[in-house]
């Protein structure tokens, strides 16, 4: 694996590869790598000749400063994991390398309702920050293919929109969520959970089953409220949302018909740690 810290060096290297850009895949991450990240890499390697992983904790996407400060950094073990998994290139830039015009550079992305719904609503400015960094990273790497996780389903929709807006010739691939044995979605933030909270965390996954089982028995809004209540009863300290939504635009649904495809999305806190997860359900 070759590690690049400078944009210019990475670009020069890629330009000279015959597999660039058509057979070059990109996996952007914020590090503290787990099996979910490695699954993105494995999908990328299956179809591509060159895999590029980036590790960059993006300051502009954290609306909560303490979340940014407490974001886990495990760079040495990340490098070992990537080498073992057969990654070709690790891009490990500084903030100054990515934000060559400074982090305060004004730019606004037209994300429509995606920005005011769910994560957009509860984390103001978050998706503008995600677009800001992805705009930079995509223009630096200019891959033929991009691999991101459905764990962050709304983020996938945002990035597809960014690719459209920016008229980039990049194929987008959404990879299924990798889960722990009990169903908890793998996440770098799980590292911050106490042992007791780690046990409670599985309740999010259980609500997907609860909602699927009861989707034709209760009204959608009642079911959402009931699932939120279940989370609080199992020890979650705050629920931002439980949403049964249209998978194509994330608009909330008022009712669900037989065999309809819906996306259930949940965000909730265990103390200071905010967890998100989602799942498609066929009603």
The residues that bridge with 275 in the sheet, in sequence order, are: 268
Cβ(2)–Cβ(13) under 8 Å? Answer: yes
> 3-state DSSP call for residue 126?
helix
Q: By C-beta, is 174 or 223 nearer to ligand AMP? A: 174
The answer to whether 119 contacts ligand AMP (rule: CB under 6 A) is no
Looking at the annotation, which residues are catalytic? 37
Q: Is 40 in the site for ligand AMP (CB under 6 A)?
A: yes
The Cα 283–Cα 267 span in angstroms is: 21
DSSP string, 37-104: HHHHHHHHHHH-SEEEEEE---GGG-SSHHHHHT----HHHHHHHHHHTT-SEEE---HHHH-TT-TT
The reply to whether 25 sits near ligand AMP by the rule CB under 6 A is no
Contact stretch for ligand AMP (CB under 6 A) within 31-39, 92-100, 109-117, 137-145: 31-39
Question: Is residue 95 at the binding interface for ligand AMP, with CB under 6 A as the rule?
Answer: no
* Range in contact with ligand AMP (rule: CB under 6 A) among 33-41, 90-98, 99-107, 244-252: 33-41
177 binds ligand AMP (CB under 6 A): yes
Is residue 273 part of the contact set for ligand AMP (CB under 6 A)? no
How far apart are CB 177 and ligand AMP at their closest, in Å? 4
In which residue are the tokens 């103001």 written?
Answer: 124
Q: Interface with ligand AMP includes 152 (CB under 6 A)?
A: yes
Q: Which residues pair with 174 in a beta bridge?
A: 148
Query: What is the rounded CA–CA span in Å between residue 212 and residue 239?
Result: 19
Give the count of residues interacting with ligand AMP (CB under 6 A): 17
Question: Which of 187, 224, 230, 278 is close enough to bind ligand AMP by CB under 6 A?
Answer: 187
Contacting positions for ligand AMP (CB under 6 A): 29-30, 36-37, 39-40, 148-149, 151-152, 175, 177-178, 185-188
């Amino acid at each position: 694996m070759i590690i690049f810290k400078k944009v210019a060096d990475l670009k020069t290297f890629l330009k000279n590869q015959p597999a660039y850009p058509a057979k070059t895949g990109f996996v952007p991450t914020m590090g503290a790598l787990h099996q979910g990240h490695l699954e993105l890499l494995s999908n990328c390697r299956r179809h591509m000749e060159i895999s590029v992983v980036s590790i960059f904790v993006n300051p502009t996407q954290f609306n909560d400063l303490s979340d940014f400060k407490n974001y886990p950094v495990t760079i040495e073990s990340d490098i070992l994991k990537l080498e073992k998994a057969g990654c070709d290139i690790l891009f490990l830039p500084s903030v100054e390398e990515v934000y060559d015009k400074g982090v305060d550079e004004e730019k606004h992305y037209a994300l429509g309702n995606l920005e005011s719904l769910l994560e957009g609503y509860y984390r103001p400015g978050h998706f503008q920050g995600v677009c800001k960094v992805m705009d930079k990273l995509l223009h630096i790497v200019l891959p033929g293919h991009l691999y991101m996780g459905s764990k962050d389903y709304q983020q996938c929709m945002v990035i597809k929109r960014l690719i459209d807006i920016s008229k980039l010739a990049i194929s987008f691939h959404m990879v299924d969520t990798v889960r722990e044995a009990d169903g908890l979605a793998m996440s770098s933030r799980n590292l911050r959970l106490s042992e007791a909270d780690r046990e409670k965390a599985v309740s999010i996954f259980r609500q997907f089953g609860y909602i699927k089982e009861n989707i034709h028995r209760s009204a959608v809004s009642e079911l959402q409220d009931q699932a939120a209540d279940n989370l609080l009863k199992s020890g979650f300290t705050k629920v931002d949302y439980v949403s049964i939504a249209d998978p194509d635009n994330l608009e909330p649904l008022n009712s669900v018909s037989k065999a309809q495809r819906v996306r259930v999305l949940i965000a909730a806190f265990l103390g200071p740690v905010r967890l998100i997860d989602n799942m498609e359900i066929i009603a």
